[in-house]
Chain A
Amino acid sequence: DGGITQSPKYLFRKEGQNVTLSCEQNLNHDAMYWYRQDPGQGLRLIYYSQIVNDFQKGDIAEGYSVSREKKESFPLTVTSAQKNPTAFYLCASRARSSYNEQFFGPGTRLTVL
């Protein structure tokens, strides 16, 4: 079955450590996105990539970094510069032919201790 995989589902890190969240899709979608969700709030866009080897900052990119070396993969690194990294992180992808419709992965809950 086609879909988006995010791993792990729960992640714990000590303060000051960088951590990388995985996002893989086998939908053959060109575009991929990373969002952050805080309790009781909507989703905020961190980074997005419309095509391999290219990505753009979203609304809250500070303290995060990404890479897009393969079409299927869009990992997100939460760096020590991110002041409040504890959140639920969602990855999404979109087909080139789809104007705005995005498909979401199950999410990773990151807790920084």
Chain B
Amino acid sequence: GNSVTQMEGPVTLSEEAFLTINCTYTATGYPSLFWYVQYPGEGLQLLLKATKADDKGSNKGFEATYRKETTSFHLEKGSVQVSDSAVYFCALGRRGNMLTFGGGTRLMVKP
């Protein structure tokens, strides 16, 4: 079946550090891949997406590349800010227009 595995958090970084949050998936075919972000006490917001192999999604300085050969969609940012502190969810699109989510990774950025 479909599944998404994310690195466990929390990930704690200093401001301006480089961020990588790993995400790997198991799926049949070539699903669309997503990163969502959840700020404290709020719902999820779509951060970026990629719909086919080798696509790079990007938004607000975050990037992720759809790697078919390694079934991965790692999230990266060159210089994090305190305001990036949140929980990040990797997700894949499955049949029936539904999403399968990873467990989430909490990012804490210290000034």
- Bound together, the chains give a CA A103 to CA B41 distance in angstroms of 16
Q: Which residues of A contact B77 (CB under 8 A)?
A: none
Q: A40-B103, A42-B102 are in contact. Are A104 and B44 (CB under 8 A)?
A: yes
For chain A, the count of residues having a C-beta within 8 Å of the partner chain is 24
> B46, A103: Cβ atoms under 8 Å?
yes
Q: What 1/0 flags go to B40-71 for Cβ under 8 Å of A?
A: 01111110010100000000000000000000
For chain B, the count of residues having a C-beta within 8 Å of the partner chain is 23
User: 8 Å CB contacts to A: which residues of B18-44?
Assistant: 31-32, 34, 36, 41-44
Mark B residues whose CB is within 8 Å of A: 4, 31-32, 34, 36, 41-46, 49, 51, 89, 93-94, 97-99, 101-104
The 4 closest A-B pairs by CB, nearest first: A100-B93, A104-B43, A42-B101, A104-B44
